[in-house]
A and B are shown apart, each in its own frame.
Chain A
Amino acid sequence: MSDRLNDLRQAVERLLPEVDGVVALKQGPGGIVAPHLFQREQPADLAALALWPKYPVPDTLKIIQKAHPGSTLAVVCRGCEERGIVEMAKHAQIDLAKVRMVGLQCVADEATFCRCAKPFTAHATVTVGDKIEGVPDALTDAFLTKSQEEKLAFWKEQFTRCIKCYGCRNICPQCFCNVCALEDETWVETGRLPMPMPPMYHLVRAMHMTAKCVACRECEETCPAGIPMAIQFRLIAHDVQQMFGYETGAVIDQKPPQLLVLEEGDYAKTGLPH
């Protein structure tokens, strides 16, 4: 762990003169770790560079970039965060030409914690740490063995615990709409808990995460009720790959299906009549 931190510190140090700032984690007073903009004017900050916890990197980068559109920034990102940045660029939320990515490869413990299939970066020119293989997602695999009735019972039990704090939406690094469907009374009623089935909030959110979720698991992490909602996002990501041949954040030049008008033959795998 300390090795990786040292390597990262050196990588950031080398980058500092070339860019206007590096977005990474910094340990503050009282041991609180938070995102920080490292700049060459304050090289002493680097001593407090930190690796963990994860935070919504693409969203943080977007906010800084919107406030300083002319600046060139570097960002320390893990595999999922890198995919998120690529995806946000496709939706015109981040200018990728002005971003330098420093890839931070996850270690086995972190990958297991996230049930991550791709705990490594693919586009970053500078990487820190050794690339490891993904781990199987036992929770999702176990869910898939359930029957239809068991699946419904599982989600009924899970969603009954939801207190509708909107934490999963707020933390999501891929959410950027100015007007959110989840705040529309037409779709999500206020003041009704537990929410009636089918749970509009969660299903609408799952639909909106289609071809956008990068499996960073921030939503599950932040959920006070511990609802494993990423199960649905992951299964749908797999389906989108099967149906439309699109993998979120994997290829920079490939547009997501929702931004494209497809040809008739492209629907062959959707199961629709044609």
Chain B
Amino acid sequence: MPEPKIIGFLCNWCSYRGADTAGMARLKYPPNVKIIRVPCSGRISPELVLRTFREGADGVMVLGCHIGDCHYSTGNHRTAKRMPVLKKLLEYTGIDPQRLYINWVSAAEGEKFATVITEFTETMRALPPMSEVLR
């Protein structure tokens, strides 16, 4: 079984710094996640997630600031409103909604970052590759 390809959209202010914190603490986590830094998790439109899947990603992570901590005050509220709906839509299309993962990781939560990445990679390893599912 090939290793799962995962794209992680990380908000610049919290989750990306969280990844830095994890790195500085020398925490180990699987290298499957290709990180894309975005100004805010609210930047991630459903279109972006869907296209990421179509380009062959097995899983997509959207990590942002905790609600109330957004650098732009309400950016992650958009994430919180649209991503649950997108997960439901994936389910209704017959794509495992687990393939889209949303969580809040702050700059201080290096350990949580490592845990979240490890757990999601494990979940994706248990699922068949997206290319096989969609064929």
Chain A interface (Cβ < 8 Å from any Cβ of B): 148-155, 181, 186-187, 196-198, 200, 203-204, 206-207, 210, 231-232, 235-236, 239-240, 243-244, 257-258, 261-262, 264, 267, 270-274
Contacts and interface: CB of A to CB of B under 8 A. Distances in A.
Interface string B79-108: 011111111110111111000001110000
B14 to A, nearest CB: 14
Contacts of B102: 272-273
B134 A198 contact: yes
B30 interface: no
B83 A272 contact: yes
B88 A203 contact: no
Contacts of B133: 152
B82 A207 contact: yes
B93 A207 contact: no
Interface in B95-135: 95-96, 102-104, 133-134
Nearest to A262: B77
Contacts of B66: 274
B67 interface: yes
19 contacts: A148-B95, A150-B94, A152-B133, A155-B93, A181-B47, A196-B134, A203-B50, A203-B89, A203-B93, A206-B89, A207-B86, A232-B89, A232-B92, A236-B88, A236-B89, A236-B92, A244-B81, A262-B80, A264-B68
B90 to A, nearest CB: 8
Given A236-B89, A264-B67, 8 more contacts: A198-B93, A198-B134, A207-B86, A236-B88, A257-B81, A258-B81, A272-B84, A274-B67
B49 to A, nearest CB: 9
A185 B134 CA distance: 21
A198 B84 contact: no
Contact of B84 (A149, A231, A271): A271
Contacts of A240: 85
Contacts of B87: 271
Contacts of B103: 273
Nearest to B81: A257
A34 to B, nearest CB: 35
A196 B66 CA distance: 35
B81 A262 contact: yes
Nearest to A269: B84
A235 B80 contact: no
A85 B33 CA distance: 45
Q: Is the interface of B mostly helix, strand, loop or mixed?
A: helix
B53 interface: yes
A206 B134 CA distance: 19
Contacts of A207: 46-47, 82, 85-86, 89
B26 interface: no
Contacts of A243: 84-85
A257 to B, nearest CB: 6
A156 to B, nearest CB: 8
Given A200-B50, A200-B51, A207-B82, A239 B88 contact: yes
A203 B93 CA distance: 8
A151 B94 contact: yes
A236 B91 CA distance: 10
A155 B47 CA distance: 19
Given A152-B95, A187-B47, A261 B74 contact: yes
B71 interface: no
Contact of B80 (A148, A154, A206, A272): A272
A111 B124 CA distance: 44
B54 interface: yes
A270 B88 CA distance: 10
A244 B84 CA distance: 11
A239 B85 contact: yes
A231 B94 CA distance: 13
